Amino acid sequence: MMPLARAVIRALPPALLMVMMLVTLLMLAVPHAIGATNDANPASTAPAAQNAPPAPYVTDDAAHAVGAAEAPAATAHTAPERKVLVMLRLPAPHFRPDASYGGRYIDDGGRNARHRIAADLAQRHGLKLLSDWPMPTLGVDCYVMEYADGDSADAIAATLSRDPRVEWAQPVALFLGMGAAGGDPLYPVQPSAKYWHIAELHRTTTGRDVSVAVIDSGIDGQHPDLLGQVALAENFVDDGAAPAEAHGTAVAGIIAARSGNGGIVGVAPGARLLALRACWQQPDLGTRCNSFTLAKALNFAILNHARIINLSLSGPPDRLLDRLLDVALERGIAVVGAVDPQGGAAAFPASHPGVIAVAQQGAGDARAASPASWAPSPPSSASPARSGTVYAPGRDIPTTAPGARWSFVSGSSYAAAHVSGMIALLSQLRPASTPEQLRRQLQPIDGLNAGNIDACATITRVTGACSCSCATAVQLKVDTRP
């Protein structure tokens, strides 16, 4: 320091000198503090980023998949953005599909080895490993990987499938619930009560203790009509308890709502529901699912000995889901799937061999606008379905809604729910029947109405006794007036 400067500093009062030193220190420190803040929190320089959603997958030991809040709004036949599923083989000694296994990992050394293989695959192909889940029913572990923008899901899946360590790989697809928006009023007459005569059928069978897996959005197990009907609930979409959502609650009510609660009566009120949330509700009340969440739920339903699996949804063909349905059918589980009127012949699950495909009765028919349309009527030519499709009530159906309410719904989702309930009634009477035998026992109405179910004739055929009023059952075949 120059002599003149030293002299000036010595002449300054001590208090002033201290203030000058503090100001100098602050001037030096503030730019660094600002720089550190921006580095640690880039959102401070880009306010729009503060509201960005979290990553769509959570990687943890339970391997939970895309959640309702983060679910992409896509159509049923498009894959979610930038994700593929990679299946790695489970060695035979670690394949343990025991009844107590509920979908979590078995703690064996092979798990870490397979995870290292998955991590190596991700690194080699420029992917990000997000999540994983065991599928012991198929002898594989399923890994979710994310690819970069601009890459092709099909090309990446084909490349991964050529690796000898990979059983197969595939894009993640989206699926839709087959429901349409309905009104608010609860109509006093249910089609299943008026035309299927379920109150009379319940004197013979209620589906007592038949396990029905409802793979859908969240079910309101506290609804007065559903209280005590849910034997087991699992959430395969995100963490925490499954929320009460519209589509799943409506399907569950049609299948198994209890009587005597001022609401509705399910087709099979004695059935026990497995509420398996694999779908999530959109802001517009639409329902979305994907390959990964559905596969986890199917795997769980198989391992927990469901007698019936209800899939009120539709989407593109999917290799992983097809393999799981093959296992379910081989184990004697009846699978009921909703027909997508716009989905064509190849839509999953209705097109899968052995699945009981169900379409909405009278859909597209001018007669469907009135309650009389729920008397037997020919299927509509506006919504062709594959051979063997059965038709059930699916328009203007009063059913349960979240929050101790009831609503009025339409769609093949709800037709499928009616058939799942009917299969539960048959299963109580014929517990040893195979899925194909149960399908054949659905007694169709004669003549032009060959696809429509005659519930009274179906149960009468199985029991050998007239379950409903015989005069009513005969009239049902020849008279379509309300």
Tokens linked to 185: 């009023």
How many Å apart are CA 381 and CA 391, to the nearest integer? 13
CB 303 within 8 A of CB 99: yes
CB 175 within 8 A of CB 74: no
- What is the secondary structure of 398-460 as a DSSP string? EEEETTTEEEEEBSHHHHHHHHHHHHHHHHHH-TT--HHHHHHHS-BPSGGGTTBB-HHHHHH
Q: Which neighbouring-strand residues pair with 289? A: 175, 279
CB 424 within 8 A of CB 458: no
The C-alpha angle with vertex 441 and arms to 438 and 443, in degrees rounded to 5, equals: 140
Q: How far is CA 182 from the centre of its chain?
A: 20
State phi, psi for 292 to the nearest 5 degrees. -70, -50
**Catalytic residue check, 413:** yes
Residue 466 burial (10 A CB sphere; 0-12, 13-18, 19+): middle
How many Å apart are CA 311 and CA 325, to the nearest integer? 11
- What is the secondary structure of 212-246 as a DSSP string? EEEEES---TTSTTTTTTEEEEEESSSSSSPPP-H
* Active-site option among 77, 247, 352, 418: 247
Q: How far, in Å, are 99, 185, 367, 384, 426 from residue 323 at the CA level?
A: 19, 41, 39, 26, 26
Which uninterrupted H or E stretch holds 176?
strand 174-177
* Active-site option among 132, 216, 238, 340: 216
**Catalytic residue check, 322:** no
Q: How far, in Å, are 76, 346, 384 from residue 343 at the CA level?
A: 9, 7, 10
How many Å apart are CA 235 and CA 304, to the nearest integer? 15
Q: How far, in Å, are 146, 191, 296, 379 from residue 374 at the CA level?
A: 47, 6, 36, 11
Buried b or exposed e, range 317-345, using 16+ CB within 10 angstroms:
ebebbebbbebbbeeebbbbbbbbbebee
Tokens linked to 15: 């208090």
Query: Beta strand 287-290 with 279-281: parallel, antiparallel or unpaired?
Result: antiparallel
* Active-site option among 131, 410, 413, 433: 413
Tokens linked to 54: 């979290």
Tokens linked to 390: 């059965």
**Catalytic residue check, 216:** yes
Report the candidate in 353, 336, 84, 80 with the shortest Cα–Cα distance to residue 215: 336
Query: Beta strand 83-89 with 140-146: parallel, antiparallel or unpaired?
Result: antiparallel
User: Hey, which residues are catalytic here?
Assistant: 216, 247, 413
